[in-house]
Amino acid sequence: MGRREPQLEFRWASWFRGFKAPAVPLSLSGEGDGGLTAWCAEAAQGLALHELARKVRVSWNPRMRTTAGRAWWPARGIELNPKLKDCDPDEIWRTLKHELAHLVAYERSGRRRIVPHGAEWQLACCDLGIPGEKIYHNLPFERRRLDRKHAYACGHCFETIQRVRPLKRAVACYECCRKFNNGAYHERFRLVKKKA
Backbone angles phi, psi at 72, to 5 degrees: -115, 125
Nearer to Zn ion by Cβ, of 12 and 175: the residue is: 175
Q: How many residues bind Zn ion (CB under 5 A)?
A: 6
Task: Using the rule CB under 5 A, give the single segment among 30-38, 88-96, 169-177, 180-188 that binds Zn ion.
Answer: 169-177
Rg (CA), the chain: 17
d(CA 172, CA 190): 4
Nearer to Zn ion by Cβ, of 83 and 156: the residue is: 156
- Regarding 156 and contact with Zn ion (CB under 5 A), the answer is yes
Shortest spacing between CB 116 and Zn ion, in angstroms = 6
Using alpha carbons only, give the angle 68, 116, 85 rounded to the nearest 5 degrees.
Answer: 15
d(CA 102, CA 99): 5
- Regarding 75 and contact with Zn ion (CB under 5 A), the answer is no
- Regarding 157 and contact with Zn ion (CB under 5 A), the answer is yes
Outline where 47-83 has alpha helix (H): 50-55
Binding region for Zn ion (CB under 5 A): 154, 156-157, 159, 173, 176
